Amino acid sequence: MFEYPQGYELIAGVDEVGRGPLVGAVVTAAVILDPHNPIEGLADSKKLSEKKRLALAEEIKEKALAWALGRAEANEIDEINILQASLLAMARAVKSLKIQPHFVLVDGNKIPKDLDIPAQAVVKGDSLVAEISAASILAKVARDQEMEELDKQYPEYAFAQHKGYPTKLHLEKLAELGALPQHRRSFTPVKKVLETKFTDK
């Protein structure tokens, strides 16, 4: 059972989705829930079916006191590394909230710099803290939708299926078709493909 910090009225949860994929942005969300308008069934987004996630995402947007998305693009990830980019994107989500919270609960074991708000990191927070669960759902739905858009642009890469994660299918497509501008160049499988293409010429 998670114990909330005492003496704070508005508490935001923040989480990220998309550290592992080889393509696209890392997407984050920050959510301040309304204690008078509870949402049933909040859980870690990875443990929910897509149908349940989509339904909950709509309910969160309706009932939350405030919610916002944040992101760090592939080029930022390549520049500062995925951990720093995730933290940066989390801070961006918090700063985009229309109501600023008094305290922030962050999924994981690190707190973003530049928050300027008291914060606590919560390991496995997406399973323990309703606000972080809600944030994980919004971030996951937003990122999956981006992958579906990318899939429409580049159907041959099958992004709607693997969502950019380094599955066998994605690695095969990457080797066969090469890297796109949206691919993260600092990630080893992408780097290898680019080096191979370069040496082949």
78 and 33 housed in the same domain: yes
Q: At what angle do helices 188-200 and 168-177 cross, to 10 degrees?
A: 20
pTM for the model stands at 0.94
Q: Does the residue 2 lie in any domain?
A: no
Q: Tell me, yes or no, whether 73 and 167 share the same domain.
A: no
Are 118 and 176 found together in one domain? no
Same domain, 109 and 36: yes
SS3 at position 71: strand
Residues 146 and 171 in one domain: no
Residue-level pLDDT, tens digit, the chain, 201 residues: 789 999 999 999 999 999 999 999 999 999 999 999 999 999 888 899 999 999 999 999 999 999 999 999 999 999 999 999 999 999 999 999 999 999 999 999 999 988 999 999 999 999 999 999 999 999 999 999 999 999 999 999 999 999 999 999 999 999 999 999 999 999 999 999 998 865 544
CB atoms within 10 A of CB 56: 22
User: What whole-number distance in Å separates Cα of residue 79 and Cα of residue 82?
Assistant: 9
End-to-end CA distance of the chain: 58
Co-location of 83 and 34 in the same domain: yes
Same domain, 129 and 160: no
Q: Give the full edge-to-edge strand order of the sheet including 66-72.
A: 66-72, 26-32, 11-17, 103-107, 119-122
**Structural domain harbouring 119:** 11-151
Looking at the structure, tell me whether residues 147 and 195 fall in a common domain.
no
